[in-house]
Structure 1
Amino acid sequence: MSSVSEGRFPGSSVPSITRAPRRTTLLTGDGVRIEAVYTPCTAGSRGSGGSDSGGTAIVLAHGFTGSADRPAVRRAAGVFAQRAAVITFSFRGHGKSGGRSTVGDREVLDLAAAVAWARSLGHRRVVTVGFSMGGSVVIRHAALYTAPETGEGVAEEARVPGAERVGRRISAREGRMGAHADAVVAVSAPARWYYRGTAPMRRVHWVITRPAGRFVGRYGFGTRIHREDWNPVPLSPVEAVPLITAPFLIVHGDRDPYFPVDHPRMLAGAAGDRAELWLEHGMGHAENAADEDLLTRIADWTESV
């Protein structure tokens, strides 16, 4: 699966912030159409998250085989909407979006399109929250897209060892177009690629890499998966973490059947004192395991940083 140019950022047919939930189609930098849903803050104009204030928007990135309309994603969006406006979207190859899933590589472009849409709607502050595969995407996105006042993103490959594997260099002009996140939350994210240490992940790799598995993915899980291998292999989450300049929260369950707790500990170790780690007792994996209490605490954290 080859990384490609981010190209231009998308516009939107939605001219301004509106209280009614709105669906739209975003065009990514490489020309893939992505379905997206905007949900205004249900708290009205209260606090910085009120939809009328142009304050915070949370962009929610689902896990592999998820979509904007999956019940767990809608439940999380409903909790987050009590604090801020929320944008949900379906990654390429998922739901009603076009293209094929590259399982965390080009999906950075999908997230960038959603973040840019949030800013085009008037939101001054955007927080990305990703689950599982979406967690790896928000990490890589935060490494690629930095706020204009903090730098120019990966403006020169020479600045970052292995930068060619992040996706593509981000120019100063593109960085100013508003695709950066102001804070980042990764829930149940892997630290490294090609992990097969658990039975669920061995099944995931079978779905991704085998023709019969991709058939099951398409017709059993509604996920269209790209058949090509990554070329080049993108920077892994643990390699991307040191490039993150925004406030960063890592959330992981101690009963995650996919990625054991050495994954969040590796991420936290790579971040040093620039990240916060929550190891949740009894929690399983990703959005399906995130209960209302945890989602509310995550939403509170996004307000506090």
Structure 2
Amino acid sequence: MTDAIDRSDQPSAPQRRRITTSDGIELDAALIRGGAERTTAVVLANGFTGTWRNPANRMIAQRLLPVGDVLGFDFRGHRSSGGRCTVGNLEVHDLQAVCAHLREQGYARIASVGFSMGAAVVVRHAAGFGGVDAVAAVSGPGLWYYRGTRRMRLLHLGVERALGRWFLRAARKVRVIDSQWDPVPPDPTEMAADLAAPLLVVHGDADTYFPVEHAERIHAAAPGPKDLWIEPGMGHAERAMTPERAERLAQWLARRLPGGGETAPSAGSGG
């Protein structure tokens, strides 16, 4: 049973933003504000082909609003954002630009929450750039080029073959690079050792992309404070998040952020 969270503040409609990265890529973003002026923000980093417009992302944003204002954005190469997707490499610059934008807007505390590809990005960003106060990685890979599941073998075909990239562009509105990484960046497990912010790793035991060993690797590598949730029956990334799971995530963020977030849940059992 989870704690009740106060939702008395009425959220705003998404406020569209265009945010430019250090390498000149324009990102499509949307900020949802709570009913009062706040100094805490939560950034949602989507999985590959994901967008802040998806119903699952909107539900998660609503459940996290008691912690702070929520900014969702589309990674480079996704929908209305510029550039081409690098599937987790240069996307750290996208997250850095979003966090810098929030700091410029007066937010003193920032948490980053990532799903799948976005989970890899939030870990790498927090370790390499810093500047965030809490990190949650949901359904993320622990190492690059994993092909141990059918879903990941199909994903690699999609990004490595010209026909697959055409399908992604036509059907999912995602433009992917047609070259290999050079150099190959450190993977999330390697980077986790350099984390200075509290880390939550969430993974489903029914994930069809990455087995739970990926989550266990990242959690073991992180210095702490850290928490690992292996969720029974949970699938992959945003679509596997239920309102109850999103609320537990909000409770964890409220406990871990300096000052306890904007509207801390009552003391109790969650997570």
**TM-score by structure 2 length?**
0.88
Q: Could you list the per-position Cα deviations for residues 210-245 of structure 1 after superposition, in whole angstroms to 9, with x for gaps in the alignment? A: 101101111121110010100000110000000000
Distance 1:260 1:230 in 2: 24
Q: Unpaired segments of 5 or more residues in structure 1? A: 1-17, 46-51, 147-179
Report the CA distance shift for 1:197/1:230 in structure 2 as closer, same or farther (over 3 A). Answer: same
Q: Equivalent residue for 1:203? A: 154
Q: Could you list the per-position Cα deviations for residues 143-192 of structure 1 after superposition, in whole angstroms to 9, with x for gaps in the alignment? A: 1112xxxxxxxxxxxxxxxxxxxxxxxxxxxxxxxxx2111000000000
Report the CA distance shift for 1:219/1:181 in structure 2 as closer, same or farther (over 3 A). Answer: same
The answer as to whether partners of 2:38 and 2:69 remain within 8 angstroms in 1 is: no
Task: State the secondary structure of the residue aligned to 1:60.
Answer: strand
Q: Equivalent residue for 2:113? A: 129
Distance 1:96 1:39 in 2: 18
Aligned residues: 246
The answer as to whether partners of 1:66 and 1:95 remain within 8 angstroms in 2 is: no
Distance 2:223 2:70 in 1: 29
Confirm whether residue 96 of structure 1 aligns to residue 77 of structure 2.
no
Confirm whether residue 224 of structure 1 aligns to residue 224 of structure 2.
no
Distance 1:57 1:297 in 2: 17
Moved more, 80-89 or 32-41: 80-89
Offset of residue 20 of structure 1:
5.4
Q: Equivalent residue for 1:15? A: none
Q: Equivalent residue for 1:301? A: 252
Task: State the secondary structure of the residue aligned to 1:59.
Answer: strand
Confirm whether residue 53 of structure 1 aligns to residue 4 of structure 2.
no
Q: Unpaired segments of 5 or more residues in structure 2? A: 1-10, 257-271
Mapping of 1:278-297 within 5 angstroms? 278-297=229-248
Moved more, 18-27 or 89-98: 18-27
Q: Equivalent residue for 1:73? A: 57
Confirm whether residue 40 of structure 1 aligns to residue 33 of structure 2.
yes
Distance 1:274 1:214 in 2: 39
Distance 2:228 2:96 in 1: 24
Q: Equivalent residue for 1:234? A: 185
Task: State the secondary structure of the residue aligned to 1:300.
Answer: helix
The answer as to whether partners of 2:16 and 2:30 remain within 8 angstroms in 1 is: yes
Mapping of 1:111-130 within 5 angstroms? 111-130=95-114
Offset of residue 21 of structure 1:
3.2
The one-letter code sitting in structure 2 at the alignment partner of 1:53 is R
Distance 2:20 2:55 in 1: 25
Q: Equivalent residue for 1:156? A: none
1:109 to 79, 93, 104: 93
Offset of residue 118 of structure 1:
1.4
Offset of residue 273 of structure 1:
4.5
The one-letter code sitting in structure 1 at the alignment partner of 2:242 is D
Q: Equivalent residue for 1:86? A: 70
Greater than 4 Å deviation, 4+ residue runs = none
Distance 2:38 2:51 in 1: 28
Report the CA distance shift for 1:68/1:19 in structure 2 as closer, same or farther (over 3 A). Answer: closer
Distance 1:141 1:272 in 2: 16
Distance 1:102 1:21 in 2: 27
Offset of residue 252 of structure 1:
0.4
1:24 to 13, 17, 29: 17
Report the CA distance shift for 1:211/1:228 in structure 2 as closer, same or farther (over 3 A). Answer: same
Offset of residue 19 of structure 1:
5.2
Distance 2:170 2:218 in 1: 34
Q: Higher relative contact order by CA 8 Å / sep ≥ 6: 1 or 2?
A: 2
Distance 1:288 1:40 in 2: 23
Moved more, 67-76 or 235-244: 67-76
Confirm whether residue 275 of structure 1 aligns to residue 220 of structure 2.
no
Offset of residue 274 of structure 1:
3.3
Confirm whether residue 142 of structure 1 aligns to residue 93 of structure 2.
no
Q: Equivalent residue for 1:192? A: 143
**TM-score by structure 1 length?**
0.78
Mapping of 1:149-164 within 5 angstroms? none
The answer as to whether partners of 2:189 and 2:217 remain within 8 angstroms in 1 is: yes
The one-letter code sitting in structure 1 at the alignment partner of 2:38 is S
